[in-house]
Structure 1
C-alpha cells in the first residue's frame, strides 16, 4: 500500500479488478484491516487524563513517535547560522478536534504545525503540533512562546532567527538577544515598544526609509509598494543595498533598501522549502482516524 497508493483504502478491497491496484484482499479482509486500525497504538494512553481534564494530551497516541522524531532531527544535523520559524499546514479533511481552517494558505484545511527549519536547505530541525485552544480560550503570547520553545535548545550559540510579524515583538527579540541569539522579522504596527516615528511616520516614495536604534535593537520602516516594518538585532542600520523594481513604463529601477530586508527575504523561506521535501510518516489515532506527520529525513 505504501508503494502502490490508491485514492482510498476501500479501493484495495473492491471486487472490481479494474480498480483494485494489488491483491491485498487475498491476504486480509477489509473488516480485519479496520479492526487493526481501530486498536493499533504506538503508545500507552491509559495514563492520559480524560478530555477537558488538566494534563490531557491530545497527541498522546503518537507522542512517543513524535518526540523520537524531534530528537533525531536535532541530533543528526548541525545548523547553519540562519534558521527560520513559520507555520506549515498538513492537509487533512477527516474528523479531528484540532483541525484548522486557514483560508489564506494553499492548504486550507488540516493540521497546523509550527516549524523551525534551515533556510539553506529546508531541513526541519524542530516542530510543534498546534492542538488548538484550551477550554476554547486563546493563548496569550502564543507567537512568542512558539519561538522560544523552538529556539531554546540553540540559545547561546549566536544563531540568527527569522520570523514573520505573527511572532515578532520587542520583548521577544530582547529576550533572544539576552540569550546570545539574534533575530530579524517583520512586525505589526500595534506591537508594544515600537517608536511612534516608525509606526506613524508617513513614507510616500519607493525606497524611502526611516530607522531608530536602541542598543542592538533596530526598528525600520521602508516603503516599497507599501510601507514595511521590520525589527532586527542582527543588522547594521548604516549598511544599505538596492533591489530591482520594475516601473510602470517597463524600465528597471534600482531602489535603495536596508540590508535587513534582503537578509529577511533570503532567510525566511526555510519552512516553505522544508514542506517541499516532506516525507510522510503515517500514524494512527482512534477509530478510522489517520494523522500524518511530515518531516525532512536526515540524509
Structure 2
C-alpha cells in the first residue's frame, strides 16, 4: 500500500509527512511520529547549532535495526524552499568535487528531514561562507572527542574531560561537554574562526599528547585501536575540515532513542569522582526535560572565542 501522507503547516511552509506510526526504534516502539515530535520540540535549542553548517545526515528509513545510509547531498525531491549550498567536499582530490549540501536553518527544514528518517544530524566545525582567500574552511569550533576503550566508559571519559578542560583553560579556551549519545563524550570549544582546520587539529593534537604523557595508563592520543583498551582515546582528528561531529541534541541510532546531551561541569566532575549515573546516555524524553530545565547549555558556542595559541 502507498504511504499515507498528511499535509501539515510548519511555520509558513506546507509539508507532507507520512508513515507516522512506523516504528524506527523497535526495541522501545519509538515511531517516526515521535521522532518528528522530538525534533519539533527540541528545535529552539538545536537549530542555532545547525545554522549555516552543511549537514550530513544518517538516514534509517526502515528503523535502526535495518540498513542505513549517509547522505551529504540534497536528494532530488528536496523542496525548493530548503536552503542548499554548493561546496567543495573537503578531503577530495584538491577539493574539486562539489556537492549540494542541505543547510538546516529553520523548523520546516528540520521537520522535512525528520520525515525522511534522518535520525542523526552531523555538522563540520566550520560554517558556510567562512573560508580563506585560498578557499579553505575556517572553523569556529574545536571539538575534542573522548572515545573510551572497554572496559573504560563514561566515568573515565569524565575524568579526562575535566583534565582537558583545565588544560585548555590555561590557554584561555573555554570548553563545553556533551555526551555523544553513545559510549563517549565530546568537548566543544568556541574559537575565533581565523585559523585553518590543520592549525586547529595541530593544537588539539599537542594538548592530547601532553595529557597522554602525563597519564599514559589512562589516556592515549594515538589512532591505533590496539592501544585503546582500558584507555580514553583523545581524538584530535575530529578537527579535520573533512570530519563532522554529531550535533548537540541530535538523536542517535541505537537500542533506545538516545540523543547527544549537553552536560553541566558539575555532572561531569561527579561522574569522574565515581558517582554512578551522573553522566550516562540520555533518552530523547530526558533531553527535552533537560532543555526545559537548563535551556541550552551550549549557547556560548554561538559566540566567537579566542584564537588558539600556536
* TM-score exceeds 0.5: no
Rg comparison, structure with higher value: 1
Larger helix proportion, structure 1 or 2? 2
Q: TM-score, normalised by structure 2?
A: 0.26
